[in-house]
Amino acid sequence: MSRTRFKLVPLLAALALAGSAQAAPTFADVAPILNARCVICHTGASAPSGLQLTSYDTVMAGGKGGPAVVAGAPAASELVKRIKGERQPRMPMTGPPWLTEAEVALIEGWIQDGAKPGAAVAAAAPARPAAPVTGPVTYAHIEPILLSRCVMCHVDSGGKMGPPPEGYVLRSYEQTIAATDRVRVIPGNPAASELLRKVNGLSRPRMPFGGPPWLADEEIQLLSRWIADGARNRDGQPAPMPVGARVRLRGTLTAPGELDGAAFSADGGRRDKSPQVGSAAELRGWVQPDGSIRVERLRSR
pLDDT digits (tens, 9 = 90+) for 53-112: 989 999 999 999 899 999 999 999 999 999 999 998 888 877 788 999 999 999 999 999
pLDDT digits (tens, 9 = 90+) for 165-209: 999 999 899 999 999 899 999 999 999 999 999 999 999 899 998
Which conformational region is residue 41 in: left (phi greater than 0), alpha (psi within -120 to 50 degrees), or beta? alpha
Res. 29 pLDDT band, cuts 50 70 90: very high
- Other C-beta atoms lying within 10 Å of the C-beta of residue 120: 10
Cα within 13 Å of Cα(192), Cβ side: 28
Res. 273 pLDDT band, cuts 50 70 90: low
Spatial CA neighbour of 49 closest among 204, 138, 126, 153: 153
Identify the helix (H) or strand (E) that includes residue 42: none
| pLDDT value of position 122 | 62
Res. 15 pLDDT band, cuts 50 70 90: very low
252: pLDDT strictly greater than 60 = yes
Spatial CA neighbour of 190 closest among 178, 205, 179, 202: 202
16: pLDDT strictly greater than 90 = no
Radius of gyration of the chain (CA): 26
| Helices assigned H by DSSP within 87-183 | 101-112, 139-149, 173-176
Res. 22 pLDDT band, cuts 50 70 90: low
Q: What DSSP state is assigned to residue 191?
A: G
Strands (E), the chain: 246-255, 258-259, 262-265, 270-272, 280-287, 293-300
Q: Is 217 helix (H, G, I), strand (E, B) or coil?
A: helix
pLDDT digits (tens, 9 = 90+) for 118-168: 887 765 554 555 568 889 999 999 998 898 888 878 888 767 777 889 999
| pLDDT value of position 253 | 94
| pLDDT value of position 131 | 63
| pLDDT value of position 151 | 84
User: How far is residue 265's CA from residue 197's CA, in Å, rounded to a whole number?
Assistant: 19
Res. 42 pLDDT band, cuts 50 70 90: confident
15-19, 22-26, 43-47: the lowest-pLDDT one: 15-19
Res. 268 pLDDT band, cuts 50 70 90: low
266: pLDDT strictly greater than 70 = yes
Helix/strand number for the chain, H first, E second: 9, 6
